[in-house]
Amino acid sequence: MKNEYLLLTPGPLSTTESVREAMLKDWCTWDDEYNKDIVEVIRHKLTKLATNHDGYTSVLMQGSGTASVEATIGSALGKHDKLLVVDNGAYGARMAQIADCLNIANLRIAPGEVQQPDLQQLEDILKTDQAISHVAIVHCETTTGMLNPIEKVATLAKQYGKVVILDAMSSFGGIPMDIGDLQIDFMISSANKCIQGVPGFGFVIAKQTELEKCQGQARSLSLDLYDQWHCMHTNHGKWRFTSPTHTVRAFYQALIELEQEGGISRRHQRYNRNQQTLVDGMISLGFEPLLPTELHSPIITSFYAPQQDEFEFKTFYELLKQQGFVIYPGKVSHADCFRIGNIGDVHPSDIERLIVAVQNAMYWEQK
């Protein structure tokens, strides 16, 4: 079955037909052919994709990506711990919100949505606030498409002996990185972003010694990261509670297709070409990106809405959808923007067709 339109969104995104086809069979969660041959293979592949260092392990968690972020924050921080959150967008803010909700002490560095964190300010806080035990940051802040300087932030955090939590939800699988080199303790992502699977679960790739310290700390039964890992690890791929079997099987197929594409570096190149084609094309039509080029990620790009009175996002959206493209509304608070994603089964030729569709939509909207 073909899709009627291409999702140019940050996920769920357009998947291949073969990924969707992989969902057509039902699985028994007691069988080795599911636990050993699918779940365990996925866990192993994920850890390998994330790092070449030993001592890392992975755990899959039901729910959308936020459930995995909540499981990590709610399990990794003990009663007397404190979280420092870099908040320059909705997803950074969400991590602080999770900590608030779980009664975990936290402090935010909030430079605004179009700024990277001030490293001097970060260091001053790490120096003076002895209660801080963990530092959390988003890699690609999907709110704007900004790439955060995770290497510098993690290095600083480690210099002061902190545990580092990385929300790489929208970047893992699309941007090369080695979380062992970066000294990341917990990295979180989900099935329906750059690995190009369908929604239904998230995953955490963690330093095993840090994960083991989470035992007994969770503030939730179902979002207990340690228990989830322990069950999966000791029972060879068995999930604690009902596993999203079809989604997991589709994800397995998506991982194979990532390998067939040539791995993360090749996928990164494709996303980069998509983004370059998008930005060049949109600028040629008179649109202006929200961020300066050096802060762009290849994942998603925010554009200012045109200032003309005739422009209305809803109409623009519908006119594009009629032509086979779905874009995303903006999420920044201070400016009227919309966003266009480059991830998923999307190729430079699709973006070229999109630019023509945008030109048509602008013309029709003026009439």
Ligand X SMILES: *Cc1c(COP(=O)(O)O)cnc(C)c1O
Residue nearest ligand X (C-beta atom)? 65
Task: Please state the closest distance from residue 178 (CB atom) to ligand X, in A.
Answer: 19
What is the amino acid identity at position 246?
H
Instruction: Specify whether the CB–CB gap between 153 and 137 falls below 8 A.
Output: yes
What is the distance between the alpha carbons of residues 360 and 354, in angstroms, rounded to a whole number?
10
What's the gap between Cα 68 and its chain centre? 11
What is the distance between the alpha carbons of residues 149 and 308, in angstroms, rounded to a whole number?
35
When the beta carbons of 64 and 302 are compared against ligand X, the nearer one is 64
Task: Please state the closest distance from residue 209 (CB atom) to ligand X, in A.
Answer: 25
Torsion angle in degrees (nearest 10) through CA of 17, 19, 25, 26 = -140
Alpha helices in the chain (DSSP H): 17-21, 32-34, 40-50, 65-76, 90-101, 119-128, 150-159, 208-212, 225-234, 245-261, 264-284, 313-322, 348-366
When the beta carbons of 216 and 329 are compared against ligand X, the nearer one is 329
Element (H, E) at 106: strand 105-109
Task: Please state the closest distance from residue 2 (CB atom) to ligand X, in A.
Answer: 25
Element (H, E) at 146: strand 146-147
Task: Please state the closest distance from residue 81 (CB atom) to ligand X, in A.
Answer: 21
Helix, strand, or coil here: 227? helix
Task: Please state the closest distance from residue 47 (CB atom) to ligand X, in A.
Answer: 20
Question: At CA 205, angle to CA 200 and CA 209, rounded to 5?
Answer: 140
Contacting residues toward ligand X, per CB under 6 A: 10-11, 64-66, 91, 138, 142, 167, 169-170, 190
For residue 289, what are the β-bridge partners? 303
Task: Please state the closest distance from residue 87 (CB atom) to ligand X, in A.
Answer: 12
When the beta carbons of 220 and 284 are compared against ligand X, the nearer one is 220
When the beta carbons of 66 and 245 are compared against ligand X, the nearer one is 66
Task: Please state the closest distance from residue 142 (CB atom) to ligand X, in A.
Answer: 3
Task: Please state the closest distance from residue 167 (CB atom) to ligand X, in A.
Answer: 5
What is the distance between the alpha carbons of residues 167 and 50, in angstroms, rounded to a whole number?
13
When the beta carbons of 35 and 88 are compared against ligand X, the nearer one is 88
When the beta carbons of 150 and 362 are compared against ligand X, the nearer one is 150
Please state, in angstroms and as integers, the Cα–Cα distance from residue 76 to each residue in 43, 104, 127, 209, 217, following that order: 20, 11, 22, 11, 7
Please state, in angstroms and as integers, the Cα–Cα distance from residue 51 to each residue in 54, 57, 271, following that order: 8, 10, 21
Task: Please state the closest distance from residue 13 (CB atom) to ligand X, in A.
Answer: 10
In degrees rounded to 5, what are phi and psi of residue 108?
Answer: -110, 145
When the beta carbons of 64 and 253 are compared against ligand X, the nearer one is 64
Which candidate, 50, 6, 19, places its Cα nearest to that of 246? 19
Task: Please state the closest distance from residue 295 (CB atom) to ligand X, in A.
Answer: 15
Cβ-based burial of 123 (10 A; exposed 0-12, middle 13-18, buried ≥19)? middle
When the beta carbons of 65 and 330 are compared against ligand X, the nearer one is 65
When the beta carbons of 187 and 258 are compared against ligand X, the nearer one is 187
When the beta carbons of 91 and 186 are compared against ligand X, the nearer one is 91
